[in-house]
Amino acid sequence: MNILDRIAQVLRANINDLLDNAEDPEKMLNQILRDMEDSLDKGKSQVAEQIAQEKMMQADLDAAQKNVTEWGKKAELALAKEKEDLAREALRRQADYEEQVAVYEKQLAAQQDAVKKLKADLAALESKYQDARRKKDTLIARAKRVSAQQQIASASAKLSAVDYSSDLARMERRIQEKEARAAARQELDKSSSDDDFDQLGADDEVEKRLAALKQKLGK
């Protein structure tokens, strides 16, 4: 398992823990993005380290190949000078470096494959991070809508569980009573005024009758 696989496992574990204990979706999403950013930084560091090792292997291979060429030239020069012993030694050295070249080529090929895979994994993680950033605002808006719907549903359930009709009826009855009392008061006030005016009319009639009686009796 390479370093990016381990980072991905840790990241998934952290995200699952956040989802299990999430209370505030916005805080949760921001924390997930921070975790992904941290994982990306670690992944980039590890990939950079592997690329550095690849370059070092390439340098070792280049040096070994250079030595193969140089010791080959030395063997040719020694033989040209009729110094076979030196030529043999140069050829032995050349053979040693050729073996090194073969080893370095295998190591470099394996390292190049590993770095290629690490780069692909890192690119995938970067793509997921960018996708998460794009989706964050949409997910927060969806979470807020869900929260609002839940609050409305909860309030509706509470209202449905309580019967306010009897309370409303009682309040309506009290208002009707107050209205009736006010109307009765107005009616009483009006009746009193009418009686006064009626009494004035009755008094005039009595005075007329009294005057007519006096006239009849000659008084």
pLDDT at 74 over 90: yes
pLDDT tens per residue across span 130-173: 888 888 878 777 777 877 777 777 766 665 665 556 767 788 88
- pLDDT at res. 24: 73
Higher per-residue confidence, 107 vs 128: 107
Higher per-residue confidence, 54 vs 130: 54
Helix, strand, coil tally for the chain in percent (to 5): 95, 0, 5
Higher per-residue confidence, 189 vs 194: 189
Determine the average pLDDT of the residues in 193-199: 59
Query: Which pairs count as long-range contacts for 101-108, CB under 8 Å and 24+ apart, including other chains?
Result: 101/61, 101/64, 101/65, 101/68, 104/57, 104/60, 104/61, 104/64, 105/61, 107/57, 108/54, 108/57, 108/58, 108/61
Integer Cα distance of 198 and 200 in angstroms: 5
- pLDDT at res. 197: 54
